[in-house]
Chain A
Amino acid sequence: MTNETLLSARGLSLSFGAIPALVDVDADLWPGEVLAVVGESGSGKSTLLNVLSGRLRQQDGVVWYRDPEGRLHDVHAMPQPALRALHRSDWGFVHQNPRENLRMSVSAGGNVGERLMAQGSRHYGNIREAAIDWLRQVEIDADRVDDLPRTFSGGMLQRLQIARTLVTHPRLVFMDEPTGGLDVSVQARLLDLIRSLVRRLDIAVVLVTHDLSVARLLAHRIMVMQRGRVVESGLTDQVLDDPHHAYTQLLVSSVLQA
């Protein structure tokens, strides 16, 4: 890890009416690092993800992003075209529901190739090759390349979404409950896949999950959120093995009980 963060947030605050969603949140992410944001629903973790990725605007605070040339950008001050371009090149977003991201009436190959075409690739054969290569990397049979996603299982859809996101080799991927809604056995396989891809490709990830076991398996560091505040953060193993904050202790013990 270098000394320079890929993404830095300082003093993020946002409320929806009287309900505080974020209260003075700081966050840092270094290249190649997986940061888990955990908490119960309503803790503000998804709001934080949306603010960090520029999809939602905070009321106070700032998010800095460092581009591959080392220049810093205030994410929320970037012009719309630049932010959208960033979202389809150096960044990626993996939704809990893959149907939100995939085009269900476009073949698997077309889904994976879209970001390449958006970046100007104009060679059908090369795009298709890249799509097949990525299907293999996410453990989908290459002969499914022309099939429509609606013929895929839930786990396959999620893997297809990951292929579609990673095809442009982003350095930073936001993930919102990527294993939510899947069977336990399917979850385990998907977690293994995400872990190996992230390590091999050296991708930094901001991972939102309510599931501490997911965080333990994937994340280097963890932030625990409650009612919009970060109540505890640190190295994943330290925080989960020796929780200091009462809320973290409650979360960890409820997992143990379950």
Chain B
Amino acid sequence: MNALSGYNFAYLDEQTKRMIRRAILKAVAIPGHQVPFGSREMPLPYGWGTGGIQVTAAVLGPSDVLKVIDQGADDTTNAVSIRRFFGRTAGVRTTTATAEATLIQTRHRIPETALREDQIIVYQVPQPEPLSKLEPSRAETRRMHGLAEYGLMHVKLYEDITRFGHVSISYDYPVLVNSRYLMAPSPIPAFDNPKMHMMPALQLFGAGREKRIYAVPPYTAVKSLDFDDHPFRTTRAPHACGLCGATDSYLDEVVTDDRGGRLFVCSDTDHCETRRAAGHVGAEAPTADELAAE
């Protein structure tokens, strides 16, 4: 792919990249702490990954292999759009294979394939402040982080258990990083939270509209908040993937008709394809005849 003429490598100018890299270094040094940064106007709208794009642009090199996913899939429109953006502005090699990528930008999922030390995962973050739903004032939440006053978050969990019998947060489930900072993991399903704990890869988080960057360095403790007698639990749809038969992956629910028909398939498309290529077959997978007919 040819890089877009008239723009610097990966769109942002080098000064801006340096500014973002300084924020990233600070974020890595203080795991889970939100570092304000001079988020730029991007040619994509706020809320569509401008934070992740800026972080990616700042750490991307010509030899990187980029994978972009949205909701776990490489083929969702926003993932395609962002991958194209970097294809045009940086000309880097892109891939859909998790294992081949050196840099993975994601919205709302962590790949099922375990990440390695030589990989970086960049999360797009709509709301970096984990306390925002409990305390709207950012001046106050900053103070709460500074003093590690997180009782309020536990009050929220307490109330959930009291009302519903369990914690009702199903995504963007708050975590405590390195036993110090409360952090929003971005709207990944709680199912993915355990993958963040002691992950060998560097995890970077970019929030463009809210102008914050934060990070979890490799091999850092990430604990999902809970009570001793109500430990954190993950949930997934109680089905096997209709295409590859996986029983341990996070599933998307596809509506097949308006009479309640549903098909459950892996949300991580690369994971599903890799499994199918290795011969795993789900109950709803098309037969060889059906494939031939297409």
**Cβ-defined contact, B149 with A118, below 8 A:** yes
A residues near B155, Cβ cutoff 8 Å: 103, 106, 110, 113-114, 117
A107, CB-defined interface residue at 8 Å: yes
Given contacts A117-B154, A122-B227, contact A106 B159 (CB under 8 A): yes
B236 → chain A, closest Cβ, in Å?
24
In A150-195, the 8 Å CB interface with B consists of: none
Bound form: Cα–Cα A123–B161 in Å: 12
Interface residues of A in 119-153 (CB under 8 A from B): 119, 122-125, 127-128, 146
* A123→B146 CA distance, assembly (Å): 25
A118 to B151, CA, bound (A): 4
Nearest chain A CB to B149's CB is how many angstroms away? 6
B interface secondary structure, majority: helix
Interfacial chain A residues near B227, Cβ < 8 Å: 122-124, 127
Question: Is A81 part of the contact surface with B, judged by Cβ < 8 Å?
Answer: yes
Do A124 and B149 touch (CB < 8 A)? no
The yes or no answer to A44 lying at the interface (CB within 8 A) is: no
The CA-CA distance from A193 to B155 in the complex, in Å, is 27
What 0/1 readout, one digit per residue, does chain B (220-247) give for beta carbons within 8 Å of chain A? 0000001111100000000000000000
A115 CB–B CB distance under 8 Å? yes
Q: With A107-B162, A127-B158, A146-B162 in contact, is A117–B151 under 8 Å at CB?
A: yes
Closest residue of chain A to B151 (Cβ to Cβ) is: A118
Chain A residues, Cβ within 8 Å of B229: 123-125
Option from A80, A81, A113, A119 in Cβ contact (under 8 Å) with B158: A113
Decide: A84 and B149 in contact? CB cutoff 8 A. yes
Given contacts A103-B155, A109-B158, contact A122 B228 (CB under 8 A): yes
Min CB–CB distance B167 → chain A (angstroms): 10
Chain A positions 24 through 61: 1 when the CB is less than 8 Å from some CB of chain B, otherwise 0: 00000000000000000000000000000000000000
Interface residue? B152 (CB, 8 A): yes
Q: What total of chain B residues lie within 8 Å of the partner, measured CB to CB?
A: 18
Tell me, yes or no, whether B147 is within 8 Å of chain A by CB: yes
Q: Bound complex: CA of A114 vs CA of B228, how far in Å?
A: 16
Measured between beta carbons, the chain A residues less than 8 angstroms from B159 are 106-107, 110
Contact at B161–A124, with CB atoms within 8 Å? Answer: yes
* Most interface-central of B147, B151, B226 (chain A CB within 10 A): B151
Give the distance in Å from the alpha carbon of A127 to the alpha carbon of B151 in the complex: 12
Q: With both chains docked as a complex, state the minimum distance between the C-beta of A3 and any C-beta of chain B, in angstroms.
A: 34
Interface residues of A in 63-89 (CB under 8 A from B): 80-81, 84-85, 88
The answer to whether B151 touches A124 (Cβ under 8 A) is no
**Roughly how many angstroms separate A84 CA and B226 CA in the complex, as a whole number?**
24
Q: Give every chain A residue within 8 A of B226 (Cβ-Cβ).
A: 122
Asked if B161 and A84 make an inter-chain contact with CB atoms under 8 angstroms apart, the answer reads no
Q: Is the CB of A81 within 8 A of B147?
A: yes
Compute how far the CA of A110 lies from the CA of B156 in the bound complex, rounded to whole angstroms: 8
A214-253 vs B, CB cutoff 8 Å, 1 = contact: the mask equals 0000000000000000000000000000000000000000
Question: Is there contact, CB below 8 Å, between A115 and B151?
Answer: yes
Instruction: Specify which chain B residues have a CB less than 8 angstroms from the CB of A124 in the assembled complex.
Output: 158, 161, 227-230
> What residues of chain B lie closer than 8 Å to A85, measured between beta carbons?
147
Residue from A80, A113, A115, A124 with most neighbouring chain B CB atoms (10 Å) = A124
Distance to closest chain A CB from B187 (angstroms) = 23
Tell me the B127-153 residues at the A interface (CB within 8 Å). 146-147, 149-152
A143 to B226, CA, bound (A): 25
Q: Is the CB of A117 within 8 A of B149?
A: no
Contact of A84 with B147 in the complex, beta carbons under 8 Å: yes
Residue in B149, B151, B162, B228 whose beta carbon sits within 8 Å of that of A109 in the complex: B162
Across the interface, which residues of B come within 8 angstroms of A119, CB to CB? Answer: 151
- CB-CB under 8 A from B152, the residues of chain A are 114
Expressed in whole angstroms, the Cα–Cα distance for A85 and B151 within the complex equals 12
* Residues of A bordering B, CB below 8 Å: 80-81, 84-85, 88, 103, 106-107, 109-110, 113-115, 117-119, 122-125, 127-128, 146
Known contacts A107-B159, A122-B154, then 11 further A-B pairs from the complex at CB < 8 Å, ordered by chain A residue: A85-B147, A107-B162, A107-B163, A109-B158, A110-B159, A110-B162, A113-B158, A122-B227, A123-B228, A128-B162, A146-B163
What are 24 pairs between A and B in contact, CB < 8 Å? A81-B147, A84-B147, A84-B149, A85-B147, A88-B151, A106-B159, A109-B158, A110-B155, A110-B158, A110-B162, A113-B155, A113-B158, A114-B152, A117-B155, A117-B158, A118-B149, A118-B150, A122-B226, A123-B227, A123-B229, A124-B227, A124-B230, A125-B229, A128-B162
B residues near A (Cβ < 8 Å) are 146-147, 149-152, 154-155, 158-159, 161-163, 226-230
